[in-house]
Structure 1
């Protein structure tokens, strides 16, 4: 996944990038600059970390590593996969690079990332958030350090909820009951804006039912949308969508819900990321309107815990062909350690789930970040296998499945058809 981070105060300061940075093992003589310093090259996506935070990290690291210079090279998302693939095959590969958490296993499977399994203790493995960690591992081996993650929450119009007499729900049933009240209060508005193909939202509902998008079957993987658990999750999604007039064959970015739909009015609630909430606030301000949003975690089946959410985020990985592997691992352990991650959280006002729970910055009461942190214990990621990237490639079979069901097709039939596509793609090398 890819997002852009805006380091600012409040919701507009949410982490919006879903990318990361990484490093590697075993020095091969190293690279030196014109002044004779050993140079450690770090690739970071544009907007993924506050400049001041990164500068402070590198200043402190260089002070404790005489003769070492950290060179940060910002990368653009456009064409980055091709650029990373090429870089990892060359002798002058970057030492540390930023990878999205759904991309990491793909690069690990091709041999482009250094095996960090033997460095778990030094990297702080035991303290990492267990919901984020799986994206950094493949076949029992560690190929990256988790950096941070972000997840979706429900964003609602406080005025609309107050008018309808609705308070933030704790359970799915309370959620539905509230949508009914919102519809009765204002029949011309949408109680919730929910596009038909918001598959990351669906994933959470499927996980809540005990299912998954795909499961391991011996040495291979197979799709799991044809299961009763997936059908139950999809049927709940369909019930929510019945209170929305959003397109059944589009996702949340087509059109962009936060800037193209919400600012026009007539939307009492929607499900989105922090950067989307910030974007909606800015768009409404430009239109001469004032946003008054509230936030709550996606409700679970019972009140004892929120619903499951997809963790989009970043991992820090080390290139296998790095000329400074040992040094890169030291930088990785330092930058992703508790002390620096605590400062990182402060810099973005708590708008992320850090790799170390103890480094979580306490977000402001009533903020998007507070709602997101409340659901941090239910965060999960997509199936951890190199072939998952093939599943997400357009046309995404999960999206097609959702549209079919929303248009009336039986979930089991639509799921079986989607599973055939998933089976073929997920097992491709």
Structure 2
């Protein structure tokens, strides 16, 4: 999934001193018990811009080169723009030994045979502790083609000053309580949008479907088909439509048009649903005026579901240093370094490290993450997200007056068509 999840969630908070857990720093030995000499071996790893903070990179590099004497780690930071073709080329050439891939992109690369099968290495990598819903995008046809690295999800980001002005105390625990708060904001002077929610914010809609136990697409025999006609998708849209009714945001645009993060700091928006990097910086709005809570669910014991965006780490099948790459992967996924990612406000790949995610955003995101899901783990899903995205067009159609069932039938046909196409 293209994004810069860390950009505004406290990279400076990276804690380098978590050495008490994770990688043990022991040198790799050969069968005779002597330390192996890896002189002349260079492992090349690609991480995406905004993903791996410098302190994390430096620590991983130092531990890797200490554990594998003589080997060198060449970390290269890549830009998201144009990365698809670069990855495709690297996979065919075997010029990269380990790389970061968006979780919605993993199935596509695995389906082409570009990623190494890590099934037999899963236990050694710590896979028995990975959260099942976070690991789902790394598995295809029962085989482990990548490892879950870090994730994030959307929460409600709200203007505390406006909520106080509206007479609201505390944060809502149920959707009905949230609607009541939005009703108060609606009649508060100076509030133009109780919540800013554009009509095509399909990630939030996806989460609402997942939280109700539904799926946006499903398997029908050997085929994948659209599932907007399901009762769960229809009920989820009713919730989305009610929330959107409190907003004057365009019904035919998504959260990036205009960027909702540029509107919230103006001070007249009560709340928005967004990622951590969309929260206003201190220079734009006083930190004490910004609060976070998970989008509530029907009952207080369970927040609404969320779309889980994030990155996996994979080893190219054509890579020339497979064993060293697995060693690097084990270090990167260790509690020491996975824990460091958690301190930046991201969701780590195992629940036991969630207590390290102490930023206000992360504390709101983690309760909902357990109730989250990713898009169908099939290579052709990318066809659905290609513009014009039929899910977005469906949402606009219903919000502007088209009968839900009629629209769902039409756009399910389009989703099914795209899922049947090769990527």
Q: 1:64 aligns with which of 67, 76, 81?
A: 67
Counterpart Cα distance in 2 of 1:266 and 1:417: 37
Do residues 174 (structure 1) and 184 (structure 2) align? no
Correspondence for 1:27: none
Correspondence for 2:420: 427
**TM-superposition CA deviations, 1:152-208 (whole Å, max 9, x none):** 100111111112222311111111111111112237521100000000000111123
Q: Secondary structure at the match of 1:421?
A: helix
Paired residues of 2:212 and 2:305 also in contact (CA < 8 A)? no
Paired residues of 1:338 and 1:358 also in contact (CA < 8 A)? no
Deviation at residue 6 of structure 1 after TM alignment: 4.2
Correspondence for 1:232: 235
Counterpart Cα distance in 2 of 1:329 and 1:409: 52
5 Å-filtered alignment, 1:305-324, equals: 305-324=302-321
Please list every run of 5 or more consecutive structure 2 residues that lacks an aligned counterpart in the other structure.
15-37
Structure 1 residues 332 and 95: CA distance shift in structure 2, 3 A: same
Counterpart Cα distance in 1 of 2:302 and 2:230: 24
Counterpart Cα distance in 1 of 2:351 and 2:58: 24
Please list every run of 5 or more consecutive structure 1 residues that lacks an aligned counterpart in the other structure.
15-34
Correspondence for 1:414: 407
Correspondence for 1:248: 251
Structure 1 residues 6 and 233: CA distance shift in structure 2, 3 A: closer
Structure 1 residues 398 and 187: CA distance shift in structure 2, 3 A: same
Counterpart Cα distance in 2 of 1:264 and 1:122: 50
Correspondence for 1:23: none
- Superposition CA RMSD, Å: 2.0
Paired residues of 1:132 and 1:355 also in contact (CA < 8 A)? yes
Deviation at residue 282 of structure 1 after TM alignment: 4.8
5 Å-filtered alignment, 1:50-61, equals: 50-61=53-64
Paired residues of 2:196 and 2:272 also in contact (CA < 8 A)? yes
Correspondence for 1:202: 205
Q: 1:402 aligns with which of 395, 404, 407?
A: 395
Q: 2:77 aligns with which of 67, 74, 78?
A: 74
Q: Where do 4+ consecutive residues of structure 1 move more than 4 Å? A: 5-14
Counterpart Cα distance in 2 of 1:311 and 1:115: 23
Paired residues of 1:43 and 1:94 also in contact (CA < 8 A)? yes
Paired residues of 1:284 and 1:291 also in contact (CA < 8 A)? no
Counterpart Cα distance in 2 of 1:253 and 1:213: 22
Q: Secondary structure at the match of 1:82?
A: helix
Paired residues of 1:203 and 1:309 also in contact (CA < 8 A)? yes
Do residues 292 (structure 1) and 286 (structure 2) align? no
Q: Secondary structure at the match of 1:73?
A: strand
Counterpart Cα distance in 1 of 2:418 and 2:217: 11
TM-score w.r.t. length of structure 2: 0.90
Paired residues of 1:106 and 1:386 also in contact (CA < 8 A)? yes
Paired residues of 1:338 and 1:356 also in contact (CA < 8 A)? no
Aligned length: 398
Do residues 191 (structure 1) and 194 (structure 2) align? yes
Q: Secondary structure at the match of 2:68?
A: coil
Correspondence for 2:52: 49
TM-score w.r.t. length of structure 1: 0.88
Counterpart Cα distance in 1 of 2:62 and 2:346: 24
Correspondence for 2:349: 355
